[in-house]
Amino acid sequence: MARRGPEWAEWVHRLPAILDGLLEEWQLTVDGWMMHGYVALVVPVRTAGGGAAVLKVRFPDEEGEHEHLALQHWGGRGAVKLLRADPHRWAMLLERLRQERLGEMWDLEACEVVAGLYPLLHVPAPPQLRSLTAYVDRWAAQLSALPRNAPLPRRLVEQAVSLSRDFVADPASTGTLIHGDLHYENVMAADRVPWLAIAPKPMSGDQHYEPAPMLWSRFDELEGDIRDGVRRRFHALVDHAGLDEHRARDWVVVRMMNHACWRLLEAPGAQRVASTGDHLTMCIAVAKAVQD
Protein backbone atom coordinates (compact mmCIF):
# COMPACT_ATOMS: atom_id res chain seq x y z
CA MET A 1 0.00 0.00 0.00
CA ALA A 2 2.80 2.41 0.87
CA ARG A 3 4.18 2.13 -2.67
CA ARG A 4 1.03 3.76 -4.09
CA GLY A 5 2.19 7.27 -3.20
CA PRO A 6 3.00 9.63 -0.34
CA GLU A 7 -0.58 9.80 1.03
CA TRP A 8 -0.73 6.02 1.26
CA ALA A 9 2.74 5.86 2.79
CA GLU A 10 1.80 8.40 5.46
CA TRP A 11 -1.38 6.46 6.31
CA VAL A 12 0.52 3.17 6.55
CA HIS A 13 3.04 4.87 8.86
CA ARG A 14 0.20 5.97 11.19
CA LEU A 15 -1.74 2.69 11.02
CA PRO A 16 -0.10 0.86 13.98
CA ALA A 17 -0.81 3.77 16.33
CA ILE A 18 -4.40 4.03 15.07
CA LEU A 19 -4.97 0.32 15.67
CA ASP A 20 -3.37 0.35 19.13
CA GLY A 21 -5.51 3.32 20.14
CA LEU A 22 -8.74 1.70 18.96
CA LEU A 23 -7.97 -1.65 20.58
CA GLU A 24 -7.38 0.07 23.91
CA GLU A 25 -10.27 2.54 23.78
CA TRP A 26 -12.85 0.02 22.57
CA GLN A 27 -11.49 -2.74 24.88
CA LEU A 28 -10.83 -5.16 22.07
CA THR A 29 -8.51 -8.19 22.03
CA VAL A 30 -6.91 -9.41 18.79
CA ASP A 31 -8.38 -12.80 17.91
CA GLY A 32 -6.68 -13.97 14.72
CA TRP A 33 -4.56 -13.04 11.75
CA MET A 34 -4.93 -9.57 10.28
CA MET A 35 -6.42 -9.41 6.79
CA HIS A 36 -6.56 -6.69 4.17
CA GLY A 37 -8.35 -5.72 1.00
CA TYR A 38 -7.28 -3.01 -1.43
CA VAL A 39 -8.07 -0.07 0.88
CA ALA A 40 -8.43 -1.41 4.41
CA LEU A 41 -6.91 -3.49 7.19
CA VAL A 42 -9.27 -5.89 8.98
CA VAL A 43 -8.44 -7.37 12.38
CA PRO A 44 -10.46 -10.20 14.00
CA VAL A 45 -11.16 -9.18 17.60
CA ARG A 46 -13.08 -10.08 20.73
CA THR A 47 -15.07 -7.45 22.57
CA ALA A 48 -14.95 -6.92 26.33
CA GLY A 49 -18.01 -9.16 26.59
CA GLY A 50 -16.31 -11.92 24.58
CA GLY A 51 -18.23 -11.40 21.34
CA ALA A 52 -16.57 -12.05 17.98
CA ALA A 53 -16.16 -9.02 15.71
CA VAL A 54 -13.73 -7.44 13.26
CA LEU A 55 -12.06 -4.05 13.43
CA LYS A 56 -11.79 -2.38 10.03
CA VAL A 57 -9.59 0.66 9.40
CA ARG A 58 -9.61 2.00 5.86
CA PHE A 59 -7.63 4.50 3.84
CA PRO A 60 -9.40 7.89 3.86
CA ASP A 61 -10.89 8.51 0.42
CA GLU A 62 -14.05 9.94 -1.08
CA GLU A 63 -15.60 6.60 -1.99
CA GLY A 64 -15.47 5.25 1.55
CA GLU A 65 -16.29 8.38 3.54
CA HIS A 66 -19.92 7.39 4.12
CA GLU A 67 -19.50 3.62 4.44
CA HIS A 68 -20.43 3.73 8.13
CA LEU A 69 -23.55 5.79 7.37
CA ALA A 70 -24.79 3.24 4.84
CA LEU A 71 -24.16 0.32 7.21
CA GLN A 72 -25.89 2.20 10.02
CA HIS A 73 -28.85 2.93 7.73
CA TRP A 74 -29.20 -0.72 6.70
CA GLY A 75 -28.99 -1.86 10.31
CA GLY A 76 -27.75 -5.32 9.34
CA ARG A 77 -30.52 -5.87 6.78
CA GLY A 78 -28.79 -7.31 3.73
CA ALA A 79 -25.39 -6.05 4.89
CA VAL A 80 -22.83 -6.67 7.61
CA LYS A 81 -23.93 -5.15 10.92
CA LEU A 82 -22.14 -2.03 12.18
CA LEU A 83 -21.40 -2.25 15.91
CA ARG A 84 -19.43 0.97 16.38
CA ALA A 85 -17.72 3.61 14.24
CA ASP A 86 -15.13 6.37 14.52
CA PRO A 87 -15.40 8.38 11.27
CA HIS A 88 -12.41 10.58 12.19
CA ARG A 89 -10.12 7.54 12.23
CA TRP A 90 -12.03 5.82 9.40
CA ALA A 91 -12.61 2.88 11.73
CA MET A 92 -15.55 0.52 12.17
CA LEU A 93 -16.28 -2.38 14.45
CA LEU A 94 -18.32 -4.92 12.47
CA GLU A 95 -19.97 -8.26 13.12
CA ARG A 96 -17.72 -11.15 12.18
CA LEU A 97 -18.76 -13.09 9.11
CA ARG A 98 -17.63 -16.44 7.75
CA GLN A 99 -14.85 -16.53 5.16
CA GLU A 100 -16.90 -17.99 2.30
CA ARG A 101 -17.63 -15.56 -0.52
CA LEU A 102 -19.68 -15.70 -3.68
CA GLY A 103 -16.52 -16.12 -5.75
CA GLU A 104 -16.66 -19.81 -4.85
CA MET A 105 -20.20 -20.21 -6.24
CA TRP A 106 -21.41 -20.82 -9.82
CA ASP A 107 -21.71 -17.36 -11.35
CA LEU A 108 -25.42 -17.52 -12.22
CA GLU A 109 -26.29 -18.82 -8.77
CA ALA A 110 -24.21 -15.97 -7.31
CA CYS A 111 -26.10 -13.48 -9.50
CA GLU A 112 -29.38 -14.68 -8.01
CA VAL A 113 -27.97 -14.23 -4.48
CA VAL A 114 -26.91 -10.66 -5.28
CA ALA A 115 -30.23 -9.91 -6.95
CA GLY A 116 -31.92 -11.10 -3.76
CA LEU A 117 -29.88 -8.57 -1.75
CA TYR A 118 -30.86 -5.64 -3.97
CA PRO A 119 -34.34 -5.06 -2.48
CA LEU A 120 -32.90 -5.20 1.05
CA LEU A 121 -30.21 -2.63 0.28
CA HIS A 122 -32.13 -0.31 -2.05
CA VAL A 123 -33.96 1.83 0.47
CA PRO A 124 -34.39 5.62 0.57
CA ALA A 125 -30.96 7.24 0.82
CA PRO A 126 -29.93 9.28 3.87
CA PRO A 127 -29.41 12.96 3.02
CA GLN A 128 -25.67 13.01 3.78
CA LEU A 129 -24.70 10.82 0.82
CA ARG A 130 -23.18 12.19 -2.36
CA SER A 131 -25.40 11.86 -5.41
CA LEU A 132 -24.61 9.43 -8.18
CA THR A 133 -25.39 12.13 -10.75
CA ALA A 134 -22.61 14.36 -9.42
CA TYR A 135 -20.13 11.62 -10.26
CA VAL A 136 -21.75 10.81 -13.61
CA ASP A 137 -21.61 14.45 -14.67
CA ARG A 138 -17.86 14.44 -14.01
CA TRP A 139 -17.39 11.14 -15.83
CA ALA A 140 -19.26 12.40 -18.90
CA ALA A 141 -16.87 15.36 -19.11
CA GLN A 142 -13.87 13.01 -18.92
CA LEU A 143 -15.29 10.76 -21.63
CA SER A 144 -16.07 13.73 -23.87
CA ALA A 145 -12.49 14.94 -23.53
CA LEU A 146 -10.97 11.68 -24.77
CA PRO A 147 -9.18 12.15 -28.11
CA ARG A 148 -10.84 10.61 -31.13
CA ASN A 149 -7.92 8.21 -31.50
CA ALA A 150 -8.43 6.78 -28.00
CA PRO A 151 -8.51 2.94 -28.17
CA LEU A 152 -12.27 2.76 -27.61
CA PRO A 153 -15.05 2.53 -30.21
CA ARG A 154 -16.18 6.10 -30.78
CA ARG A 155 -19.79 4.95 -31.06
CA LEU A 156 -19.71 3.51 -27.54
CA VAL A 157 -18.00 6.60 -26.12
CA GLU A 158 -20.60 8.93 -27.64
CA GLN A 159 -23.43 6.63 -26.53
CA ALA A 160 -22.11 6.62 -22.96
CA VAL A 161 -21.80 10.41 -22.92
CA SER A 162 -25.35 10.83 -24.22
CA LEU A 163 -26.77 8.32 -21.73
CA SER A 164 -24.82 9.95 -18.89
CA ARG A 165 -26.33 13.35 -19.64
CA ASP A 166 -29.80 11.82 -19.80
CA PHE A 167 -29.27 10.16 -16.42
CA VAL A 168 -27.99 13.38 -14.86
CA ALA A 169 -31.17 15.16 -15.93
CA ASP A 170 -33.43 12.35 -14.70
CA PRO A 171 -34.74 12.70 -11.09
CA ALA A 172 -34.97 8.88 -10.86
CA SER A 173 -31.16 8.70 -10.93
CA THR A 174 -30.97 9.73 -7.27
CA GLY A 175 -32.81 9.04 -4.05
CA THR A 176 -32.05 5.35 -3.51
CA LEU A 177 -29.25 4.09 -1.27
CA ILE A 178 -27.02 2.00 -3.52
CA HIS A 179 -24.02 -0.15 -2.61
CA GLY A 180 -21.99 0.94 -5.62
CA ASP A 181 -19.52 -1.98 -5.68
CA LEU A 182 -21.56 -5.14 -5.21
CA HIS A 183 -19.71 -8.10 -6.71
CA TYR A 184 -18.71 -11.67 -5.81
CA GLU A 185 -15.96 -10.75 -3.32
CA ASN A 186 -18.12 -8.17 -1.53
CA VAL A 187 -20.70 -10.70 -0.40
CA MET A 188 -19.80 -13.00 2.50
CA ALA A 189 -21.52 -15.90 4.25
CA ALA A 190 -23.02 -15.22 7.68
CA ASP A 191 -24.54 -17.19 10.55
CA ARG A 192 -27.75 -15.17 11.01
CA VAL A 193 -28.60 -15.18 7.28
CA PRO A 194 -26.93 -16.99 4.38
CA TRP A 195 -25.27 -13.97 2.72
CA LEU A 196 -24.50 -10.32 3.53
CA ALA A 197 -22.97 -7.45 1.56
CA ILE A 198 -19.77 -5.78 2.76
CA ALA A 199 -17.59 -2.81 1.75
CA PRO A 200 -20.13 -0.45 0.17
CA LYS A 201 -19.18 2.67 -1.76
CA PRO A 202 -22.56 4.24 -1.03
CA MET A 203 -24.32 6.95 -2.99
CA SER A 204 -27.78 8.38 -3.42
CA GLY A 205 -28.51 6.87 -6.79
CA ASP A 206 -30.46 4.49 -9.00
CA GLN A 207 -30.83 0.78 -8.23
CA HIS A 208 -30.27 0.01 -11.93
CA TYR A 209 -26.69 1.22 -11.53
CA GLU A 210 -25.73 -1.88 -9.53
CA PRO A 211 -25.37 -4.86 -11.95
CA ALA A 212 -22.17 -3.93 -13.85
CA PRO A 213 -19.57 -5.21 -11.31
CA MET A 214 -21.15 -8.67 -11.47
CA LEU A 215 -20.54 -8.65 -15.22
CA TRP A 216 -16.91 -7.51 -15.26
CA SER A 217 -15.80 -9.58 -12.24
CA ARG A 218 -14.66 -13.15 -12.94
CA PHE A 219 -14.53 -12.15 -16.60
CA ASP A 220 -11.83 -14.71 -17.44
CA GLU A 221 -14.34 -17.49 -16.70
CA LEU A 222 -16.34 -16.39 -19.75
CA GLU A 223 -13.53 -16.99 -22.25
CA GLY A 224 -14.93 -18.60 -25.39
CA ASP A 225 -18.50 -17.62 -24.50
CA ILE A 226 -18.23 -13.93 -23.62
CA ARG A 227 -21.34 -12.57 -25.30
CA ASP A 228 -23.74 -15.23 -24.07
CA GLY A 229 -22.02 -15.51 -20.68
CA VAL A 230 -22.39 -11.79 -19.98
CA ARG A 231 -26.00 -11.84 -21.15
CA ARG A 232 -26.84 -14.82 -18.91
CA ARG A 233 -25.44 -12.99 -15.89
CA PHE A 234 -27.21 -9.76 -16.83
CA HIS A 235 -30.59 -11.42 -17.20
CA ALA A 236 -30.14 -13.47 -14.03
CA LEU A 237 -29.64 -10.20 -12.13
CA VAL A 238 -32.33 -8.18 -13.88
CA ASP A 239 -35.01 -10.86 -13.98
CA HIS A 240 -34.50 -12.10 -10.41
CA ALA A 241 -34.51 -8.55 -9.00
CA GLY A 242 -37.34 -7.27 -11.21
CA LEU A 243 -35.24 -4.44 -12.64
CA ASP A 244 -36.06 -2.56 -15.83
CA GLU A 245 -33.92 -4.27 -18.47
CA HIS A 246 -33.40 -1.21 -20.67
CA ARG A 247 -32.44 1.11 -17.84
CA ALA A 248 -30.05 -1.47 -16.34
CA ARG A 249 -28.51 -2.02 -19.78
CA ASP A 250 -27.91 1.71 -20.26
CA TRP A 251 -26.20 1.98 -16.88
CA VAL A 252 -23.94 -0.95 -17.81
CA VAL A 253 -22.85 0.89 -20.96
CA VAL A 254 -22.13 4.05 -18.95
CA ARG A 255 -20.19 2.17 -16.28
CA MET A 256 -18.13 0.10 -18.70
CA MET A 257 -17.05 3.10 -20.76
CA ASN A 258 -16.15 5.00 -17.62
CA HIS A 259 -14.29 1.95 -16.32
CA ALA A 260 -12.28 2.04 -19.55
CA CYS A 261 -11.77 5.81 -19.36
CA TRP A 262 -10.36 5.61 -15.83
CA ARG A 263 -7.73 3.14 -17.03
CA LEU A 264 -6.71 5.48 -19.85
CA LEU A 265 -6.43 8.38 -17.37
CA GLU A 266 -4.47 6.43 -14.73
CA ALA A 267 -1.00 7.63 -13.85
CA PRO A 268 1.79 5.59 -15.44
CA GLY A 269 3.06 2.82 -13.18
CA ALA A 270 -0.23 2.35 -11.29
CA GLN A 271 -0.74 -1.12 -9.83
CA ARG A 272 -2.91 -3.18 -12.16
CA VAL A 273 -4.40 -6.65 -12.11
CA ALA A 274 -4.76 -6.82 -15.91
CA SER A 275 -2.93 -5.11 -18.76
CA THR A 276 -4.51 -2.00 -20.23
CA GLY A 277 -5.27 -3.81 -23.47
CA ASP A 278 -7.03 -6.68 -21.70
CA HIS A 279 -8.94 -4.25 -19.49
CA LEU A 280 -10.20 -2.18 -22.43
CA THR A 281 -11.16 -5.34 -24.33
CA MET A 282 -13.21 -6.49 -21.34
CA CYS A 283 -14.99 -3.15 -21.00
CA ILE A 284 -15.90 -3.05 -24.69
CA ALA A 285 -17.04 -6.70 -24.70
CA VAL A 286 -19.39 -6.24 -21.74
CA ALA A 287 -20.86 -3.00 -23.13
CA LYS A 288 -21.53 -4.68 -26.48
CA ALA A 289 -22.86 -7.93 -25.02
CA VAL A 290 -25.73 -6.33 -23.09
CA GLN A 291 -26.88 -4.56 -26.27
CA ASP A 292 -26.57 -7.30 -28.91
Q: Which of 227, 218, 198 is nearest to 74 (CA)?
A: 198
For residue 290, give every residue at least 6 positions away whose Cβ sits within 8 Å of its Cβ, in sequence order, or none.
215, 230, 231, 234, 249, 252, 253
Given 20, 137, 181, 225, the catalytic residue: 181
The CA-atom distances, in angstroms, between 145 and each of 141, 161, 178, 194, 284 are: 6, 10, 28, 45, 18
What is the greatest pairwise CA distance in the chain? 61
Do 285 and 222 touch, CB atoms closer than 8 A? no
Sequence letter at residue 67: E
Residue pair 57/41 in contact by the 8 Å Cβ criterion: yes
Q: How many C-beta neighbours within 10 Å does residue 71 have?
A: 23
Query: Is 181 assigned a catalytic role?
Result: yes
Residues with Cβ within 8 Å of residue 42, at least 6 apart in sequence:
34, 35, 36, 54, 55, 56
Q: How far apart are CA 252 and CA 212, in angstroms?
A: 5
21-42 in b/e burial notation, b at 16+ Cβ within 10 A? ebeeebebeebeeeeeeebbbb
Q: Which residues are catalytic?
A: 181
